[in-house]
Each structure stands twice: as structure tokens, then as C-alpha cells.
Amino acid sequence: MIKVKNLRKTFGTNVAVDGISFNVKQGEVLGFLGPNGAGKSTTMRMITGYLVPDEGSVTIGDFDIVESSASAKSLIGYLPENAPSYPDMTVQGFLRFAAEIRALTGAERDKAVDAAIDTCSLQPVRHQSIDTLSKGFRHRTCLAQSLLHDPEVLVLDEPTDGLDPNQKREARQLIKRLGETKAVIFSTHILEEVDTACSRAIIIDNGKIVANGTPDELKKKTKSGRLDDLFRELTMSDTQAKEAA
């Protein structure tokens, strides 16, 4: 469902993403791991068409994200980092507004909103204004808007960032369930999420892919069998590694 080929993006002299390639199939949850500044968010913004790549291509389903932008984007549900919302709207009002942007109206709109509220467990705050919500419920509301049109592809940038431990657990379980029928890619720097939610993971550092495999395959790449050790080995500079030792 998602095909990324030789993707590259620079900002001035800074190479943010440096020729990466990978695929995500339907029924797969891909964890996109890396330290801050590794190129995760830039990659996801190119996948969703928010940024145009300098080189390479992204295909969503059968559509190129640049050449057939509208068709490709119709297949995507996107939760950006620090997802925006309208604080003076109620949860239901915001989701209805988002559904109408997706050209859903009348009974079809109401059904989509009800389904998203149920999926994201928003029923207790359905009629509450967004500015009164906890961070966890606000985050769930933003996730719900990405599900309204029942997309085949989900792109989630740091979907558990800022949530408390219970909320993180619920979010991971939800992502895993959604991945049973959709192609899901979500970025994170929390290694625990690989085991709990991902069928495969990519580690990116300095704009390049440095590891790609299932959680078990990645663990076998280090003597300790621990993902956090592999992550440090692959993403720490020689100087940092010596200091840590």
C-alpha cells in the first residue's frame, strides 16, 4: 500500500532524508524509529504529500503522491505531530467538521463520526469542548479525525507522545487493531512500542535507514538481544558511544 523509493529531502545544506526506500503492506504495522532529528517527521510529511521530495517517489495504493495527489491522499489518514484542532468546538462538532471536509454529509457523516468516537473511546467527552479536554482525550480526538473516511493507509507521527502510561497502552493496542486491516506507519522513539504494536520496524539515523526487520530479527542483531542496545549501537556517534562506555 505504501511504496517509498529513493526518497531524499534537503533544507539548505542539511540533508534531512538521504535516499531511503521501504514498503508497507496492508495488514502491517511499521514502527519508524529514530532519535530526534533523524528524519522521521520529514519522511512522513513527504509520504502524506505535505512536503514534496527533492528526489525519489512515494506511491499510495496505485497513486503517486505528487502526480496523483488527490487520489493518493484520499487513501490516507494522517495524524501529524502536535496535531491541530479547534479548541472552541466540541469533540462531536470538530469531527463533523472534519468529516465534511472529507465530503461526508448527512447520515454518512454521522455514521463516520459515531464510528470514530467508538473506535477512539471518546464517548464520555463527546459533547465536551476540546479546550477542556485532558491531553490524552485531545490526542484521541485528533486520531479520530484521521479515521473518519476509513482510510486504507494510516500515517501517525508520534501518536503516543505526551500520554500517560495507561493512555500509551490503550493507544498501542488501538494501533495494533487498526493494523489488522490497514497499512500503518507510525513514528516513535519509544522502543517498547515496537514489541507491543509493530509487526516490523525501521531504524533511521541521519536521514538513512540503518536497520529494517521484525522485532525478533532486530533483536538478533545485537549480543544482548535487546532493542535498546541495538538502537544505541546504530544511532550513537563514535564519540557518544565512547562517552557512554
Q: Is residue 28 part of a domain?
A: yes
Provide the domain count of the chain. Answer: 1
Q: Is residue 61 part of a domain?
A: yes
CATH of the domain at 35: 3.40.50.300
pLDDT tens track for 182-197: 999 998 878 888 888 8
Q: Is residue 95 part of a domain?
A: no
Q: Is residue 64 part of a domain?
A: yes
Q: Is residue 59 part of a domain?
A: yes
Q: In what order do the strands lie in the sheet with 28-33?
A: 76-79, 153-157, 183-188, 28-33, 200-205, 208-213
Q: Is residue 220 part of a domain?
A: yes
Cell match 470538530: residue? 94
**CB hemisphere CA count around 31 (13 angstroms):** 27
pLDDT tens track for 110-134: 999 999 999 998 999 999 999 999 8
Domain, as residue range, for 201: 1-75+188-245
Per-chain mean pLDDT for the chain: 91
Q: Is residue 231 part of a domain?
A: yes
Q: Is residue 121 part of a domain?
A: no
